[in-house]
Amino acid sequence: MRLPKFRVLGAPALWLHYGFGHPASFGVSVIIVTIVAFVVWGIVAPLNGAVVAQGLVKTELNRKAVQHPEGGIIKRLLAKDGDRVQAGQALLELESVTTDANYQLLREMAAFEAVKHSRLDSEQQLASSFALDQRSSLHYGSELVSSAYQRELKIFLVRRRGLDHQLATLNEQLRSVEYEHRSLHRQIKADKEGLRLDEEALAMNRSLESQNFVPRARLLTYERAVADDRSKLAEHEAALGQAEQRVGEIKLRMATTKIEYQRVASEEYKESSNRLVELTERLRPAEDAMRRMLISAPVAGIVVASRYHAPGQVAGPRDILMEIVPDGESLIVEAQTSIDNIKELYLDQTADLRFTAFKSRTTPIVTGRVTYISADALADKNGTPFYQVQVRPDAESLKAAGIQSIQPGMAAEVFVLTEARSPLDYLISPVINTFRKSMRER
């Protein structure tokens, strides 16, 4: 049907000419209503904005890297990827020729010095023997300490025999002088008794001589006998004094010999004490280095990302040998977002998560909260800057979505919800931004 021409075209003219029931008027009305409704919806209807990023599920405290400060040669592998280990469980053992040689040398020196220290302690106490220190055996090993003990025992016996020989010689001299001393005592006693008798005889003969009963010659004989007795007594008393002096000298020499023996042992004991302290201090880091050759798990968890798989491989200093995903740690989704989006992000912000491992048609969106935003921009391997964002999934939301558990390493799409905007705003904003930048170039 051919429509007539009107000066004023549009819906009002059609409505006036044909009325509202005509198909042309109805079609135009539908188009106008649709356009008006779309414009109103574009102005009024809110649409939630979101910062979109790709992320991975990981433990909140990250994997625990297993490293060694010095490195070494792999001696034994005691755990592999996928093994569940407990905290403190041995993972692998390293060997280092330098570390082992240094430890064995210091350990041997310390063991010998410890036994020497015990020997000198026994010597300065004048002990006739010294026993093996059980504490040293436990600390340094019975075989090593036994070898050191045999060496020090020989030294102890040689020095002790030398002391005993000197003391035995002096003691023999002392016994001889003491016997002489006792003999002189008896001799002096006999001399005194003989002198008393001769003096009595002299007194009697003097009385008789005064009465002319005995001749003068006989009296002189008794006087000479008394003089001889007194001379012998004086000689024996002088010899007794000399014997007593010799006894004192010998006893002094015996005491001096013991003191000298103790003095030498005491001086060596002090030197040995200082040496033992020094070796103990040097041995402590060597023992620590040997203990670190057996590398243990820092936490309980599952072994992943092992870098070494066979004995004989060489691990460098501070190389990551393997990693452990800790048990019982909270799981988060860590994502990287463009630096242009940082103004839209804040802590405790709501986020939607979609785990790509599950079917999107049957698995609902999981909600979460932003728990961490990096304080400064980071850079990836290509040098592209980004901000790191961590989102903690809501446990109730996971349960409602039918997700029993999520595993570290799973991929997830992160939608950090921002302020609501109208569709018209989405359409006009790029145009406005373009005009702001236009006609400003030189």
Q: What is the pLDDT of residues 108-160, one digit of tens each?
A: 888 888 888 888 998 898 888 887 766 665 566 677 788 888 888 899 999 99
Partners of 92 in the beta sheet? 77, 295
Q: Please report the pLDDT score of residue 426 as a whole number.
A: 52
CA distance 287 to 296: 16
Question: What's the mean pLDDT in 428-435?
Answer: 58
Assess contact for 378 and 334: CB atoms under 8 A.
no
Q: What is the separation of C-alpha 257 from the centre of its chain, rounded to a whole number of angstroms?
A: 49
Q: What is the separation of C-alpha 407 from the centre of its chain, rounded to a whole number of angstroms?
A: 33
Residue 181 has pLDDT above 70, yes or no: yes
pLDDT band at 275 (very low <50, low <70, confident <90, very high): very high
pLDDT band at 6 (very low <50, low <70, confident <90, very high): very low
* Ranges for all domains in the chain classified under CATH 2.40.30.170: 43-60+330-437
Tokens 């040669």 locate to: 73
pLDDT band at 289 (very low <50, low <70, confident <90, very high): confident
Helix (H, G, I), strand (E, B) or coil at 375: coil
Residue 172 has pLDDT above 60, yes or no: yes
Helix (H, G, I), strand (E, B) or coil at 9: coil
Instruction: Read off φ and ψ for residue 336, nearest 5 degrees.
Output: -115, 130
pLDDT tens digits for 334-353?
Answer: 899 988 888 888 888 888 88
* Ranges for all domains in the chain classified under CATH 2.40.50.100: 64-95+294-322
Question: What's the mean pLDDT in 191-207?
Answer: 79
HSE-CB of 338 using CA atoms within 13 angstroms? 5
Q: Please report the pLDDT score of residue 253 as a whole number.
A: 92
Question: What's the mean pLDDT in 153-170?
Answer: 91
Tell me how many degrees the CA angle 340-345-347 measures, rounded to the nearest 5: 150
Q: Please report the pLDDT score of residue 419 as a whole number.
A: 67
pLDDT band at 269 (very low <50, low <70, confident <90, very high): very high
Cβ contacts of residue 282 below 8 Å, gap of 6+?
Answer: 106
Fold classification of 99-292 (topology level)? Helix Hairpins (1.10.287)
Residue 3 has pLDDT above 50, yes or no: no
pLDDT tens digits for 219-260?
Answer: 788 778 888 878 888 888 888 888 888 888 999 999 999 999
Residue 5 has pLDDT above 50, yes or no: no
pLDDT band at 431 (very low <50, low <70, confident <90, very high): low
Cβ contacts of residue 225 below 8 Å, gap of 6+?
Answer: 198, 201, 202
CA distance 348 to 334: 15
Residue 388 has pLDDT above 80, yes or no: yes
DSSP secondary-structure letter at 136? H
pLDDT band at 9 (very low <50, low <70, confident <90, very high): very low
CA distance 48 to 365: 15
Q: Please report the pLDDT score of residue 254 as a whole number.
A: 92
Question: What's the mean pLDDT in 305-317?
Answer: 85
Give the helix/strand (H/E) hosting 109: helix 97-124
- Three-class SS of 197-220: HHHHHHHHHHHHHHCCCCCHHHHH
User: Cβ of 398: how many Cβ atoms within 10 Å?
Assistant: 19
pLDDT band at 1 (very low <50, low <70, confident <90, very high): very low
Q: Would you list the DSSP string of 43-85? A: HH--EEEEEEEEEEEEETT--EEEE-SS-EEEEEE---TT-EE
* Percentage of the residues of the chain whose pLDDT score is greater than 70: 79
**Sign of the torsion angle spanned by Cα atoms 42, 47, 50, 56:** negative
Higher pLDDT, 98 or 60: 98
Q: Does domain 64-95+294-322 have CATH number 2.40.50.100?
A: yes
CATH code linked to domain 43-60+330-437: 2.40.30.170
* Ranges for all domains in the chain classified under CATH 1.10.287: 99-292
Q: Please report the pLDDT score of residue 93 as a whole number.
A: 86
Compute the chain's Rg from CA coordinates.
56
Angle, in degrees to the nearest 10, between helices 11-18 and 23-44: 150
Angle, in degrees to the nearest 10, between helices 142-210 and 97-124: 20
| Amino acid identity at 416 | V
